[in-house]
Amino acid sequence: MLRTGLVTCALLGVVATAAGCGGVPGGAVATIEGEAISRESFDHWLAVLARSGGRADAELPKPPAYEACISEKRAAAKGGAKLTDAQAKEQCRREYHALRDQALQLLISFRWIEGEAEERGISVEDADVRESFEQLKRQSFPEDADYRKFLTASGQTEQDLLMRVRYDMLSNKIREQVTKGKEEVAEARIAEYYKANRGRFAEPERRDLQVVVTRTRAKAEQALAALAAGRSWASVAREYSIDRTTRARAGKLPAVRRGEQPKALDRAIFDAAKGTISGPVKAPAGYYVFEVTRTQAAHRQTLEQARPTIEQLLAAEGQQKALEGYLDEFRREWRAKTECGEGYVTADCKNGPEVAERTAAAGSG
Mean of all residue pLDDT scores within the chain: 86
**Residues 58 and 162 placed together within one structural domain of the fold:** yes
pLDDT given at position 363: 39
**Residues 215 and 78 placed together within one structural domain of the fold:** no
**Residues 280 and 328 placed together within one structural domain of the fold:** no
Q: Per-residue pLDDT tens for 214-240?
A: 999 999 999 999 999 999 999 999 999
The verdict on residue 344 lying in a domain is yes
Query: Given pLDDT bands bounded at 50, 70 and 90, which one contains residue 32?
Result: very high
**Residues 83 and 177 placed together within one structural domain of the fold:** yes
Tell me what the mean pLDDT of segment 92-105 comes to: 93
**Residues 38 and 160 placed together within one structural domain of the fold:** yes
**Residues 166 and 255 placed together within one structural domain of the fold:** no
pLDDT given at position 308: 92
Q: Per-residue pLDDT tens for 301-359?
A: 899 999 999 999 999 999 999 999 999 999 999 999 999 999 999 999 999 887 644 44
pLDDT given at position 214: 96
**Residues 155 and 41 placed together within one structural domain of the fold:** yes
**Residues 253 and 292 placed together within one structural domain of the fold:** yes
**Residues 14 and 116 placed together within one structural domain of the fold:** yes
Query: Greater confidence, 266 or 4?
Result: 266
Quote the CA–CA distance of 154 and 135 in Å, as a whole number: 20
For 18-42, b/e burial (b = at least 16 CB within 10 A) is eeeeeebeeebbbbbebbbbbbebb
The verdict on residue 81 lying in a domain is yes
**Residues 159 and 70 placed together within one structural domain of the fold:** yes
The verdict on residue 331 lying in a domain is yes
pLDDT given at position 268: 96
Residue 241 sits in a domain whose CATH number is: 3.10.50.40
Domain that holds residue 245: 205-297
**The overall pTM is greater than 0.75:** no
Query: Greater confidence, 231 or 10?
Result: 231
